[in-house]
Amino acid sequence: MPEAWTLVSGEAEGEVLTLDEPLSFWGGLDPATGRIVDVHHPQRGEQVTDKVLVMPSGRGSSSSSSVLAEAIRAGTAPAAIVLREPDPILALGAIVARELYGRAMPVAVADALPGSGARVSVSASAAGARIERLSP
């Protein structure tokens, strides 16, 4: 995959889950289960836990940062998030979880986004981010 840039540093590996539309974590993700619960989202019912969540952007409420931080604390969050457009709200949730709970989840921005089902690694640092396909 092409180089990407880092919003939140960290290392992760997992199966890609590509969302067709942006997701608001506030009301859209159940942090207790890691499932998408937004009744209007095309991927409602999908499990995000330990996936590399790929989506065009975040959506909605500033409270999404607290939902993401809680999912990271509970162990139900994605392994990483890769966005086409930067989202400071999601980045804040990952930063808060790292500071409060000592759990890192990388958040990166890339133009070329991997499709669902591929297994990738995400390496994000101050020098930039790299998304590498590990298997089809």
Catalytic residue among 9, 24, 57, 61: 61
Compute the Cα dihedral for 125, 129, 134, 136 and give only its sign.
positive
Q: Could you tell me if 112 and 2 are in contact, meaning their C-beta atoms sit under 8 angstroms apart?
A: yes
Element (H, E) at 120: strand 119-125
Q: For the chain, give me the number of helices (H) and strands (E)?
A: 2, 9
Question: What's the Rg (C-alpha) of the chain?
Answer: 13
Active site residue 61: yes
- Show the tokens assigned to 59: 């959506």
Q: Could you list the active site residues?
A: 61
